[in-house]
Amino acid sequence: MSKAQVAEFAEHVANGLAFEPGDPMEPVVAALNGKIRHHDHVARINGIPESILVKPDGRFVIFMTSLTSEKRDRFTLAHELGHRLLHFPLVHDKYPTEKMVATRWVDENDRVQQRAEWEANWFAAAFLMPEEGFLKAVDRFGLGQAAIIYGVSKRAAEIRLKSLRPH
């Protein structure tokens, strides 16, 4: 999918769930048949930090550390939902009886993994900061206030704004 297609899909999902700017992510995860596990340490698979596990039936668990901020956690949850909604269907079509596991470590030489991470980031940004409303908020209130309204870090808002208005 292109970046624009991922963004359109993310906004469609947010609209379908009646997700509004700043809404908590936990009910979204639950509505999609998922759970969140918080740990003081990071769960690992073969020594690599794990971030999401999706069972063959689509139920999933997102693993979160308790060491990050609420704003960071919102973006992480939306990012992991991107993996669940964008990538699990592809894995499931090919391997219907297998689980899908995504880890926090991405092989810098693996273009497929890198692309999946980009797509999950694009999904998270568009899900949390839909283009039209986000740009209106930036124009009306400024970037810092828009970040507060949308419940994201100022850095995430800066990156989203730059992607929408590159100049």
Structure-token pair, residue 41: 């340490």
**Distance, CA of 136 to CA of 155 (rounded, Å):** 18
Where in the chain are the domains?
A: 3-125, 129-161
pLDDT in tens, 42-96: 555 555 455 899 999 999 999 888 778 889 999 999 999 999 999 999 989 999 9
From 51-60, 89-98, 110-119, 127-136, the region with the lowest mean pLDDT: 110-119
| Degrees, nearest 5: CA angle 25-42-29 | 20
Q: Report the pLDDT value the prediction gives residue 77, as an integer from 0 to 100.
A: 96
Higher pLDDT, 91 or 162: 162
Fold type of domain 3-125: Arc Repressor Mutant, subunit A (1.10.10)
Average pLDDT over residues 109-131: 92
- Alpha carbon 23 to its chain centroid, in Å, reads 14
Structure-token pair, residue 144: 């810092």
- Alpha carbon 32 to its chain centroid, in Å, reads 13
CB 114 within 8 A of CB 106: yes
